[in-house]
Structure 1
Amino acid sequence: LGHKVGFIGKISDDRFGDYVQNFFENEGIDVSHVTRDQSGASLGLTFTEILSRDTSSILMYREGAADLKLCPADVDENYIASAKMLLLSGTALAQSPSREATLKAKVLAHKTGTPIVFDADYRAYTWVNDEEAALYMHLCAQGADILMGSRGEFDRMEALAGLDGTDEASAQYWLGRGARMLIIKHGKRGSAAYTPKGVYQVKPFPVEALKSFGGGDGYGSAFLHGLLTGLSVKQALELGTASASMLVASHACSQDMPDRAQLDAFIKEKKAQYGEHVTGPDNE
């Protein structure tokens, strides 16, 4: 989508690590803050199987994963200060020392005035127990500017807050604590975006789905692209839901991410067929 992107992370010190670094470099991602693990940790391994349009099987091996070896010392204040936005993933909170590195990045972003986006990205197999997930996801969400997740992920990060599990309660809670926006996803039913000025309802664009995963990454990247390029919240949400729809209709994930021209063409075509897909305030 044309932005300068950098990654703070830890990879294995082997040919698999070489592959990841080369892939990032070929995509134009800055890897100056990607470091090599020296403890013998391996990359996580994932197998996916598309069983039907609605069902996919995902098998992951995450024991001793190199990305969770990221240390606080690997997180540089000047690098965070140079960014227009810091994206934090809930997966990085699942184990130490990656957990502490993520929280350090959040503290430094507050110090340097870098806006924070927290993508809950809850994956049960990476966590020791539900209590740890609830605690650390809640801590990371506090003070973030934009929160993104499914309804279930918001329930997880709010488990210690005693909320009633509704979008309205989530919006009141987090907006009241300084968040600028919440994106709450409801799968096939679409998503909702809450801001201090109102709520946006987002319907997915109709497609012939091939798989049930990959849409979340497309949604997040295209939506944030819209915000970074100065689009309205409505327009950014259109880009996000368009990217998600396009990705569930394709076999691959990262390699099938649409560019801006493809997104715009898709939106134009689908709106001509089905009308508007985002409703909400017009003044943001």
Structure 2
Amino acid sequence: MTMPMQTPSRFAPNRARDIMCLGRLAVDLYAQQVGARLEDVSTFSKYLGGSSANIAFGYARLGLKSSMLARVGNDHMGRFLIETLEREGCDVSHVRVDHERLTALVLLGLEDRDTFPLVFYRENCADMAVDEADFDEAYIASSKALLITGTHFSTEQVHRTGRRALEYARRNNVRTILDIDYRPVLWGLTGKADGETRFIANESVTGHLQRILPLMDLVIGTEEEFRIAGGKDRLIDALSMVRKVTSATLVVKRGPLGCSIVEGAVPASIDDAPVQVEVLNVLGAGDAFASGFLSGWLRDEPLEACARSANASGALVVSRHGCAPAMPTPAELDYFLGEAKKDPDRMRRPDKDATLARLHRVSPNRKQWDEVLGFAFDHRPQFFELAQQTGASEARISKLKQLFVDAVAQTEKELGLQERIGVLIDGRYGQDALNAATGRGWWIGRPVELPGSLPLVFDQGR
């Protein structure tokens, strides 16, 4: 019996990693007051950010092996980024700590449906100092694919680093991907506070990108981003110019129209592109789109399937606050795509679907506590009565609870109980103990009820 021939893989076999991402790694501070000017916002939510980092995070969340190549500062924000990526399953062995620079920050607002104030704090930031000495050829060769964002060709330093990574990749049959990621402010084309402007034509940027494009196997961008890459006003003309310098597969993100994929010759109209996939939501989220697309592409799935996953990922993220934490899991994607096939009208508002909301809460990877060795010292009236009986000050209760934390830490160390310790501490007498327990990797709980209350009353009325 003759066996059917298998379609050859796009990728070299036996690679330890699916993809490595070189580019921006920053903290996003998203305004919590939706509908307010950035000037009027009073609180922000802190998330992992940066295009490359979001893609690496989203890819890891989809259950594949991603690695981040970047720098962070020797600061609290840098440690937050490393821990966030690591917790999601992304390899951070090549995220270097830069002792001379700070981690980049971004402020983002959501003023109305069309206005999204955006301010980049990236002058001399850590991720723009990533250096070719931060990695070697063996690291690049360990992956199926290498993704670099356009911003990381915008200065001499990162351009040199990106070219060296591409050199290693091409030499070792590692597929290369460019996410154009065009931000005029990061190329010095706008005022420093104008991160919102998404397109400014510039011959120098176009020429710069066109010297990189021949080294790519896959190029992802919006219509505006392909216009800057091609140096033409009309999208189809820009794509034709891009095709003159690269044979890469071109993935055009078209917002409410979904996406178009061009392999080979550029058609007379983008609507005639061989692969057209509509989006189910009116907007898409670019980094989630890339993660979704690459999750299929790196599994050798057909381009149509890659595009469906990409559009679905973007639609889910845009319905939530933030980017990285909003990225979908495989369970969310499967449910969304399945329901959209049955009832596309209902899935045009994924934010209204209770099952999706539940899946987003419960399906991401979380630390598994198979065993917790807990010590509860959240007692309040008991310690108060003991202090009264002995004539001791209430302040001594706080000191005692701090000693309990010291005792737990000593026990953990002597018996090798790391990743298994839990404590239950109150906030009334144990606030200092709670502070001392934080950051140790312990399971920490605190009571919320007023002791002895029936019916239940919350402590301090909260």
Q: Deviations over 1:134-155 (max 9, x none)?
A: 2322222222000000111111
- Deviation for aligned residue 1:174: 4.2
Q: Is the 8 A contact 1:49 1:58 kept in 2?
A: yes
Q: Distance in 1 between matches of 2:170 and 2:285?
A: 29
Which piece of structure 1 moves more, 131-140 or 23-32? Answer: 131-140
Q: Which runs of 5+ in 1 are unaligned?
A: 276-284
Q: Deviations over 1:149-195 (max 9, x none)?
A: 01111111222xxx56333x455444555534101122223221111
1:185 is matched with which residue? 253
2:397 is matched with which residue? none
Which of 125, 135, 140 is matched with 2:212 structurally? 140
Which of 81, 104, 115 is matched with 1:55 structurally? 115
Q: Distance in 1 between matches of 2:206 and 2:327?
A: 31
- Deviation for aligned residue 1:132: 3.9
Q: TM-score, normalised by structure 1?
A: 0.86
Is the partner of 1:196 in helix, strand or coil?
A: coil
- RMSD of equivalent CA atoms: 2.1
Is the partner of 1:140 in helix, strand or coil?
A: helix
Matches within 5 A, 1:213-252: 215-252=285-322
Matches within 5 A, 1:98-117: 98-117=158-177
* Higher Cα radius of gyration: 2
Q: Distance in 1 between matches of 2:70 and 2:330?
A: 27
Q: Is the 8 A contact 2:230 2:240 kept in 1?
A: no
1:8 is matched with which residue? 69
Greater relative contact order (CA < 8 Å, ≥ 6 in sequence): 1
Which piece of structure 1 moves more, 95-104 or 126-135? Answer: 126-135
Q: What is the number of equivalent residue pairs in this alignment?
A: 265
- Deviation for aligned residue 1:244: 0.5
Q: Is the 8 A contact 2:230 2:239 kept in 1?
A: no
- Quick one: which amino acid aligns to residue 319 of structure 2? A
Q: TM-score, normalised by structure 2?
A: 0.54
Q: Deviations over 1:70-103 (max 9, x none)?
A: 1122232111111011011111112231121011
Q: In structure 2, do the counterparts of structure 1 residues 22 and 177 end up closer, same or farther at CA, with 3 Å as the change threshold?
A: same
Is the partner of 2:294 in helix, strand or coil?
A: helix
Q: In structure 2, do the counterparts of structure 1 residues 104 and 132 end up closer, same or farther at CA, with 3 Å as the change threshold?
A: farther
Counterpart check, 1:75 vs 2:143: no
Q: Is the 8 A contact 1:74 1:101 kept in 2?
A: no
1:263 is matched with which residue? 333
Q: Distance in 2 between matches of 1:246 and 1:265?
A: 11
Which of 81, 84, 88 is matched with 1:20 structurally? 81
Percent of residue pairs bearing the same amino acid type: 29
- Quick one: which amino acid aligns to residue 137 of structure 1? L
- Quick one: which amino acid aligns to residue 113 of structure 2? R
1:85 is matched with which residue? 145
Q: Distance in 1 between matches of 2:131 and 2:119?
A: 27
Which of 204, 220, 240 is matched with 2:279 structurally? 204
2:192 is matched with which residue? none
Q: Which runs of 5+ in 2 are unaligned?
A: 1-61, 190-201, 266-272, 346-462
